[in-house]
Amino acid sequence: MPLAAARVSCYLLIMNDLDSLARRLQAFESADKLPYQRQLRVLQSLWREQCGYAAGTHKDRPLGSRLPMPWARESLANFISDSIRQVVREEVLDPKRSRDKLYGTPRIFSNLLSSQPLAFNLFAIPSRDLDLATRWLRRKTGDEGLVVTAIDFEWSPGRRDPRYTADRSAFDVFVRYTDGHGAEAFLGIEVKYHESMQDSPATLRERYEELAEQIGWFREDCLARLRATPLQQVWRDHLLAASLLTAGDFQRGKFIFLYPRVNTACADVISAYRDCLTNTDGFDAWTIESAVATLREVNAGSWVDDLHDRYLDLAKLDAAMKRG
């Protein structure tokens, strides 16, 4: 058999085994159009089974990548440690702290694939240990003088405020810091996991064009591409970062797009998006793998291993398929 045909045959065999595993875990979803989506759904279903949690439901049928409600809200089992669960109680369940924040419920409690619980599982502990956050982001950004002063969740400077993007955009995670030169700075972070980047585009606003022209980060010949799916969401978040600078709220800042390496849709979008930029001063893309590796380098604690096990350890799929 020619080498190329052998590779195709091997790939099909692996996918068939993965499909069988997905069905056993009640995690075979026709909505998973891209291979990585099935991989990640199965990985989350394996984690649920490993923890001894029952499967939740979707449209009145069992779904392995969900947790049952209302138990999921009561237990906060979608979060990987007691420390993280406490942050969720303070940030999500406290009505004063969560006012005007668009946490997706019940998704944040029940959906194992949702990027909102992932944001908490990754950033909650650093948000309460700013020394750890500083050591982590110094190494990740290369700014040895950086000092983190706060980390917020589902943060917007003002929803529908015309000084900013005049819409409801928010960052999943917002890091305030002073840089090595003493400037007030920020990282506005969008977290992705299972997403295909094919969401319906939002209504375009005149403010987007004003900001794009004012900040000068975008190629004029790419504006039509930036207005449309799949680039529009990245563009709007990037514009939100731009608006914080044009409003004078911060001296420096950057939008960070954070995603797992296996998510080829995110990787393709980021490659296309970079081609639309005149410079990358206000933009960067990080893989979750690189963020986790840097946390390990600064000795963040055993919770980082739990995070990796749950979200990134695709070797568990091979082991589970071999077990049958």
Q: Is the peptide bond before 230 cis (omega within 30 degrees of 0)?
A: yes
284 bridge partner residues: 256
> For the segment 270-317, what is each residue's pLDDT rounded down to a tens digit?
999 999 999 998 999 999 999 999 999 999 999 999 999 999 999 999
Q: Are 78 and 108 contacting, i.e. CB atoms less than 8 angstroms apart?
A: yes
Residue 142 DSSP code: -
Share above pLDDT 70 across residues of the chain, in percent, rounded to a whole number: 95
> For the segment 184-202, what is each residue's pLDDT rounded down to a tens digit?
999 999 999 999 999 888 8
> For the segment 216-250, what is each residue's pLDDT rounded down to a tens digit?
999 999 999 999 999 999 999 999 999 999 999 99
Distance CA 209, CA 232 (A): 12
Q: What is the CA radius of gyration of the chain?
A: 20
